[in-house]
Amino acid sequence: MKKIILISCMAIFSAAQVWAQEKAQNSYPMLGEDAPSFTAESTTGTLNFPGDYTFKWKILFSHPADFTPVCTSEILELAEAQKNFDKLGAKIVVVSVDNIENHLEWEKNMESINYKGRDPVKIDFPLVSDPNLVIAKEYGMIHPNTSSTKDVRGVFIVDTKNKIRAMFFYPMNIGRNLGEIERTLVALQTADKQQVLIPANWQPGEDVLVPYLKSTAEGEKVLSDNDPNYYQVTWYMRFKKAGNK
């Protein structure tokens, strides 16, 4: 009987260890945590992330493989939008699990494509090589219930202090919405600069919410000065008009 109990305990312990290891492998950095750092080869040379872009906003895109149709459409749209991100003080970094030789060939091919009737665009951001899935695992991009690489399709927005501020994950067959990623970046920058909240479906230039008011009395107090720059729709939703810092 004791032997059976001992064997059962050992089995439970082993299973717990396996579960813990799998959980660790499938974990990903949380909002507000430091972005995992890595050094890897890229199409622009050796890259240290996020250290090479300290004091800049960073947008890390990941892809499961080169020469894939959905990912190629995303890279072409990124290349078209890279000037917009530059104006916002954000650097783009793309990670793909293929080797650097494939990256260079893929980049060369994409820079020859007339996409959506546009002239070919030069890709100025680095394509990072991650053939051993080191970066993918650090960022929790390996999903055990599907292919080991096809879900390497995450987006991480990292701020000037190298903290992760937003994350997106997309399936392999659905292209990413770069407009929403850019909107989220502008929203984060606006919230930080003005110390405000961003309402649903907000677009740059629209009114923003002020921090949460805890009671009707507090709402009435902050509006008692009749400041025309502020208005409320109910006591816990107070807006600041766009253009007022």
Which residues are the active-site residues? 71
Distance CA 175, CA 218 (A): 45
Closest CA to 178 of 110, 55, 88, 118: 88
- Under DSSP, is residue 93 helix (H, G, I), strand (E, B) or coil? strand
Q: Which of 167, 171, 166, 168 lies closest to 145, judged by CA? A: 171
What the block records as the tokens of 103 is: 């990256």
Contact 241, 230 (CB under 8 A): yes
Write the secondary structure of 4-68 as one string of H (helix), E (strand) and C (coil): HHHHHHHHHHHHHHHHHHHHHHHCCCCCCCECCCEEEEECCEEEEECHHHCCCEEEEEEECCCCC
- CA–CA gap between residue 219 and residue 227 (Å, rounded): 13
Phi and psi torsions of 80, nearest 5°: -70, -35
Alpha-carbon distance of 173 to 150, in angstroms, equals: 10
